[in-house]
Amino acid sequence: MTILQPFKTEIDLKTGVFTPETGIIKRYLSQMRSMFADTDAVERILADEGDRLLYEVYVTKLPEEAGQILHCTTIIHPGKIGSEFHMTKGHYHARREEGEVYLGLSGDGCLVMQTQEGATDVQFMKPGTAAYVPPYWAHRTVNIGEAPFVFFAAWAGDAGHDYGTIERDGFRKLIVDAGGRVEVTDNPKYR
Ligand code: S6P
Ligand code: ZN
């Protein structure tokens, strides 16, 4: 395995910005067209206001190998697509036996999880919440507030990401705004 020099990163706890910046991933609505339940709302937004930046991920550049601990911050911008709050794509780890830890830094969010056996779970997160994603659970985060939802994550270097299963099946639960109240509902399109 790669032998590295120790290093540190300064994280702005409010914005999630990494210094020094070693990489940033930006996810736009156009890249998640079929992931929101209200696909008419998606197409309307894309036509009327153009593409929308949903979330950003500040990453540390580390080798994706066993023994390394990858870490990053995710910033989900506030907003909704129809009644569904902005969210990440969500994924299983390619190596299902690898878990992950999240730490809420700013804003309000929730962590939606499920297993391939049909279990579901939702953990609400605020600054200071450490949430655990056990092995075998797919995970997606959602911004349920009016400010950016920012959290830190750390996971095994060899975990890998399986986005395909979620792209195909979706999540069983949706997080929606029901007239000013945050509600967890069943996804009518879950396969
Ligand atoms: C990685 C970890 C997070 C997400 C990030 C974006 O294992 O769970 O860093 O990558 O929150 O979500 P996604 O689903 O687009 O990777
Ligand atoms: Zn993960």
Q: What is the pLDDT of residue 191?
A: 81
Residue spans of beta strands (DSSP E) within the chain: 10-11, 18-19, 24-28, 53-59, 69-76, 80-81, 84-85, 92-93, 100-106, 109-114, 120-125, 130-133, 138-143, 149-156, 161-162, 173-178, 181-186
| CA 90 to ligand 1 center in whole angstroms | 7
CB of 72 sitting under 6 A from ligand 1: yes
Q: How far apart are CA 91 and CA 114, in angstroms?
A: 10
- For residues 158 and 148, is the Cβ–Cβ distance under 8 A? no
pTM score over 0.95: yes
* 69-90 confidence digits (pLDDT tens): 999 999 999 999 999 999 999 9
Residue spans of beta strands (DSSP E) within 16-143: 18-19, 24-28, 53-59, 69-76, 80-81, 84-85, 92-93, 100-106, 109-114, 120-125, 130-133, 138-143
CB of 113 sitting under 6 A from ligand 1: no
Q: How far apart are CA 121 and CA 133, in angstroms?
A: 10
Q: Which residues of the chain have pLDDT under 50?
A: none
Residue positions counted in the chain: 191
In the CATH scheme, what architecture does the domain 10-186 have? Sandwich (2.60)
CB of 153 sitting under 6 A from ligand 1: yes
Q: What is the pLDDT of residue 124?
A: 98
| CA 162 to ligand 2 center in whole angstroms | 9
CB of 57 sitting under 6 A from ligand 1: yes
Where do the domains of the chain lie? 10-186
Q: What is the pLDDT of residue 114?
A: 98
CB of 90 sitting under 6 A from ligand 1: yes
Q: What is the pLDDT of residue 140?
A: 99
Out of 74, 77, 167, mutate this one to test ligand 1's pocket (max ligand atoms within 8 Å of CB): namely: 74
Q: Within 10 Å of residue 100's Cβ, how many Cβ atoms?
A: 19
Q: What is the pLDDT of residue 54?
A: 98
Cα angle 189, 109, 32 (rounded to 5 degrees) comes to 40
